[in-house]
Amino acid sequence: MRKNVIITCAVTGAGDTTKKSSYVPVTPKEIADSAIEAAKAGAAIAHIHVRDPKTGGISHDPVLFREVVERVRESETDVILNITAGGGGDWIPSYENPVVGGAGTDIQTPAERHQPVGELLPEICTLDCGSLNFGDQIYISPTNWLREHARLIQQSGVKPELECFDTGQVRFAKQLVEEGLITGDPMFQFCLGLPWGAEVDAETMIYMRDKLPENAHWSAFGPGRFQLPTAIQSMLLGGHVRVGLEDNLYLEKGVLATNGQLVEKVVSIMNSMGANPMTPQEARQHLGLRNPQGKAE
């Protein structure tokens, strides 16, 4: 079991959750405040998406990312920022003309996906390591695009979190490592239980963990009621943990949660098992991150 654990809080995501819970942050101020709340509760990393402040829907606007990042960095609370770079991959074929995207399709090039990261230089950004049947749509991330995107991230000096939604994506992420497109010890995130990727169970987690390079860092998360069991299972198997309103809205059955409450709950469980959350500074050193000013730790 891992005794010193990095907690990531995924504070908002891009899903249609704002109508289900008023605690899901929408505006840049709300997202920044929620990241700060999570950090004060024990999270070392805040995983950041942004939303259209008027609709609550998905947004890729670099201006919104900038406001979130500046608000967090100007606060008195330290937290590692992990900006999503996986947006703009949703493909829904048109029934009238299947060779083009239908309503709801949202595609960005690697350069477009990387733009907020390249401009704001967070410590970490995500790199979704393959395409996937994602619910009733397809998430598009071809291998040539991934290589291009990995190069952009590498050139920026930001550390990629290699998000793997299925076992083949672990295989391709290792290929990026072998090709020299990932600098330093690789950092993996197992995204389990999402339709229709890898199962959310211990057998799948162990399989994916055992396929990693020896120097890899890793974490895992599951959605909804699987969030806390997956977090603790990850810790027991030597990994780190992720919680937050991107993946789960409830503290317990019928009780809506804030991000801070979700972090507090997993910290309490960890403490009862003899484990402790790493501080942001400890996590920077453990993962080999630069600090927000770009100085090596």
Rounded CA separation 151/80 (Å) = 22
Per the prediction, the chain carries an average pLDDT of 96
User: What is the pLDDT, as a whole number, of residue 223?
Assistant: 98
Structure tokens at 278: 């790493």
Q: What is the mean pLDDT of residues 194-206?
A: 97
Rounded CA separation 80/44 (Å) = 6
- The pLDDT confidence band at residue 200, using thresholds 50, 70 and 90, is very high
Reported as a single tens digit per residue, the pLDDT across 3-57 is 999 999 999 999 999 999 999 999 999 999 999 999 999 999 999 999 999 999 9
Question: Please, where are the H alpha helices in the chain?
Answer: 28-41, 62-74, 110-120, 143-156, 167-178, 202-210, 227-236, 259-272, 280-287
Three-state secondary structure call for residue 7: strand
Q: What is the mean pLDDT of residues 247-255?
A: 97
- Taking a C-beta distance cutoff of 8 angstroms, is the pair 216, 230 a contact? no
Helix 202-210 with 227-236: angle, nearest 10 deg: 40
Q: Is the pLDDT of residue 120 over 70?
A: yes
Q: Which residue has the tokens 């960890």?
A: 270
pTM value is 0.97
User: What is the pLDDT, as a whole number, of residue 208?
Assistant: 98
Rounded CA separation 265/41 (Å) = 9
- Taking a C-beta distance cutoff of 8 angstroms, is the pair 126, 84 a contact? yes
Rounded CA separation 113/116 (Å) = 7
- The pLDDT confidence band at residue 292, using thresholds 50, 70 and 90, is confident
Cβ-in-10-Å burial (0-12, 13-18, 19+) of 147 comes to: middle
- The pLDDT confidence band at residue 294, using thresholds 50, 70 and 90, is very low
- Taking a C-beta distance cutoff of 8 angstroms, is the pair 133, 89 a contact? no
